[in-house]
């Protein structure tokens, strides 16, 4: 059976952006900039991983976490730390 063609909901943007009227940043300006993102917590940044969990388990953990007024990922971190200790 042949694959169904993918429908495009939006027209592709073909116009090029003209940056000619934007002045370049100086070395001094660039040196004062900092990376935007989550602030570091603890001594080292946390490692992002992918893990497959049962959706029912995730819903239970989210419910428990909301009752504790914390994020479910924080709850999972705490559970794993306790288990590892």
From residue 50, alpha-carbon distances to 33, 53, 77 in Å are 31, 10, 14
* 70 located within any domain: yes
Q: Which among 69, 72, 47 is positioned nearest to 58, based on CA atoms?
A: 72
Place of tokens 């490692």: 47
| pLDDT attached to residue 16 | 85
Round to whole Å and give the CA distance between 21 and 30.
19
Q: What is the pLDDT of residues 14-70, one digit of tens each?
A: 678 888 899 999 999 999 998 787 777 777 778 889 999 999 999 999 999 999 999
Asked if the model's pLDDT at residue 9 lies above 70, the reply is: no
| Residues sharing a CB contact under 8 Å with residue 65, sequence separation 6 or more, in sequence order | 71, 72, 74, 75
Q: Which domain holds residue 79?
A: 50-85
Q: Is residue 13 very low, low, confident or very high in pLDDT (cuts 50, 70, 90)? A: low
* 81 located within any domain: yes
Q: Is residue 5 very low, low, confident or very high in pLDDT (cuts 50, 70, 90)? A: low
* 6 located within any domain: no
- Total domains in the chain come to 1
């Amino acid at each position: 059976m042949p694959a169904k063609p993918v429908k495009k909901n939006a027209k592709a943007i073909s116009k090029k952006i003209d940056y000619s009227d934007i002045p370049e940043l100086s070395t001094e300006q660039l040196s004062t900039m900092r990376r935007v993102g989550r602030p570091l917590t603890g001594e080292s940044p946390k490692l992002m991983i992918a893990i497959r969990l049962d959706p029912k388990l995730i819903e239970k953990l989210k419910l428990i976490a909301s009752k504790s007024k914390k994020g479910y990922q924080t709850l999972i971190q705490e559970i794993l730390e306790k288990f590892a200790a």
